[in-house]
Amino acid sequence: MEWIANPEIWTALVTLTVLEIVLGVDNVIFISILAAKLPKEQQDRARQTGLLLAAGMRLLFLLAIGWIIGLKATLFTVLGKDISGKDIVLMLGGLFLIYKATKEIHEKLEGEEGHASARVAPTFAAVIGQILLLDLVFSIDSVITAVGMTPYVPVMMASVIVAVSIMLFASKSIYGFINRHPAVKMLALSFLLLIGVSLIAEGLGQKIPKGYIYFAIAFAVFTEWLNIRAGSRTKAKPVQLHQPYEHTKE
């Protein structure tokens, strides 16, 4: 029980928990947008399942921490640039985010209501599969970052559990807010584009300080909050985004 009196452990726990929450916001946004494509009765289950799977993946990676650290080793060199397993994962994850965000923006702004109904609407399993792909990228990045902050694996695992518990509590409010305000949903998709670009840049060795990215996101959210407040006073109706899929009950 000596750890209780060790300020270094408590400082690491608080710092890592805050870091997990900040990094988890990206996940919550992505999960919220994907879950909204499902029938209403499945949306809450998809949101909760996605967050729990993200926590489970981080905990598994922490147990296999030696393998995760090994991903930083150089696999090959291209034009004088060393490429590691982590770089490949980040670049693929960034491309996936850019593709998904661009596709979502196109579907919400182009075409008519139900214009994609000829295609099969995403299933619960398909949505969870896409969430898992992104969880893989964020989990590897999160674990490697955590390793650089503390050598105590139990502290890392505790921070993941605490952070996911907080996100599970807050995610419903974030989910509802994003889906109630079309402009916020477009902002959220733009954030995913920004994060996708930053992941590719990091994979190519161009480190973009996350503080810059999150400041830009916070400033955009604050500006949109002012717009929402102004709109509520004038009782202006928000522009409705297109719903490309029409869910039918069997």
Range of the domain at 24: 2-234
- Domain assignment present for 78: yes
- Domain assignment present for 192: yes
- Categorize the per-residue pLDDT at 245 as very low, low, confident or very high, splitting at 50, 70 and 90: low
Cα dist from 123 to 46, 103, 242, whole Å? 10, 17, 19
- Domain assignment present for 193: yes
- Domain assignment present for 246: no
Summarised one tens digit per residue, pLDDT across range 125-140 is 888 888 888 888 878 7
Structure pTM? 0.73
- Domain assignment present for 243: no
Summarised one tens digit per residue, pLDDT across range 24-41 is 777 788 888 888 888 888
- Domain assignment present for 248: no
In this prediction, residues 101-121 reach a mean pLDDT of: 66
- Domain assignment present for 98: yes
Residues 239, 105, 242: CA angle, nearest 5 degrees: 45
* Mean pLDDT, rounded, of the chain: 78
Q: In total, how many domains does the chain have?
A: 1
Predicted pLDDT at 249: 46
What is the C-alpha separation between 21 and 164, in angstroms, rounded? 7
Give the other-Cβ count within 10 Å of 210's Cβ. 15
Summarised one tens digit per residue, pLDDT across range 52-97 is 888 888 888 888 877 777 777 888 888 778 888 888 888 888 898 8
- Domain assignment present for 247: no
- Categorize the per-residue pLDDT at 4 as very low, low, confident or very high, splitting at 50, 70 and 90: low
Q: With a cut of 50, say whether residue 118 has pLDDT above it.
A: no
Predicted pLDDT at 76: 83
